[in-house]
Structure 1
Amino acid sequence: MKAEEFDAKFKNGEDITEFIHLSNAHRPRYEQKRINIDFPIWMIEALEHEVKRLGVTSDSMIKLWLAERLEKQLLLSKRKQ
């Protein structure tokens, strides 16, 4: 199937799932890459307290906080341009 035909089916609200190979799907710029970070003990203790309070994982909390900070910095950078 050509891309134009696929796009037309999608725009018309047709079911296109049979044409998608989800095993090959990925979200550009959202691939995972593992890094190691050393934190001071006081940060780990504060993080553990917060994740226990919220009932989430340390990974998700760190990602959320980092994403919020990066989004804020990106907005500030765009305003300065």
Structure 2
Amino acid sequence: MKASDFDKAFDEGASVMPFANMDKAQRPNRSKRVNVDFPQWMVDSLDREAQHLGVSRQALVKVWIANCLAREAHSLR
């Protein structure tokens, strides 16, 4: 089955499992849970900023850390 036919069948709600090779299936970018302890004032500040932006605290922290890591990666080049 061509990829375009596979995509079309999936988009139309048909079962594509008979055509999927689950032996080689992978979950890219799997998440790993980590715990970080912050002082209360920092949590309060994060919550205010997250509410202002209309996102969760977790989403805000993820975006900020991703941005910092991307900036750092560019500065190392």
Note the alpha carbon deviations across 1:32-61, whole angstroms, 9 max, x for none: 111110111121111010111111111110
What letter is aligned with 1:65?
Answer: W
**Structure 1 CA distance for aligned equivalents of residues 27 and 42 of structure 2:** 33
**Structure 2 CA distance for aligned equivalents of residues 42 and 77 of structure 1:** 32
Alpha-carbon RMSD across the aligned residues, in angstroms, is 2.1
The higher-RCO structure (CA 8 Å, 6+ apart) is 2
Distance 1:44 1:76, change over 3 A: same
1:20 corresponding residue in structure 2: 20
1:3 corresponding residue in structure 2: none
Runs of 4+ deviating beyond 4 Å = none
What letter is aligned with 2:20?
Answer: I
**TM norm structure 1:** 0.67
What letter is aligned with 1:26?
Answer: R
**Structure 1 CA distance for aligned equivalents of residues 69 and 43 of structure 2:** 21
Unaligned runs of 5+ in 2: 8-15
Unaligned runs of 5+ in 1: 1-5
Residue 38 of structure 2 aligns to a residue whose secondary structure is: coil
